[in-house]
Amino acid sequence: MEEPKKNELKYEEAMKRLEEIVHQIENGEMDIDSLADKLKEAKSLMTFCKKKLFSVEEEVNRIMSEQSF
């Protein structure tokens, strides 16, 4: 699977790719030659997802604080 560029990547796509990598590792579907590359990709995807979640949480908190309930 071709890795999407970061500015084009959506959270759901990143999570799906992470799930694919985990599945391949858990089921022994990954050869040793590609293991390090896939782990680097997974680490990058996890960082992307964490940043995205943090950003959305900040935005939601900002919006909620602007609302008068």
* Any domain includes 48: yes
How does residue 3 score in pLDDT terms, banded at 50, 70 and 90?
low
Range of the domain at 15: 10-66
pLDDT at residue 69 is higher than 70: no
**Residue 5 belongs to some domain of the structure:** no
Of the candidates 50, 25, 46, which has an alpha carbon nearest to the alpha carbon of residue 36?
25
In a domain, 58, yes or no: yes
Task: Write the pLDDT tens digit of every residue in 24-63.
Answer: 999 999 898 899 999 999 999 999 999 999 999 999 999 9
In a domain, 20, yes or no: yes
Cα–Cα dist 18/26, whole Å? 12
| pLDDT at residue 6, as a whole number | 54
Give the angle subtended at the CA of 3 by the CAs of 43 and 32, to the nearest 5°.
60
Give me 36's structure tokens: 């390090």
CA 57, 58, 59, 62 dihedral sign is positive
Q: Is residue 31 part of a domain?
A: yes
For residue 40, being part of any structural domain is answered with yes
pTM confidence score: 0.77
d(CA 22, CA 18): 6
pLDDT interval class at 17 (50, 70, 90): very high
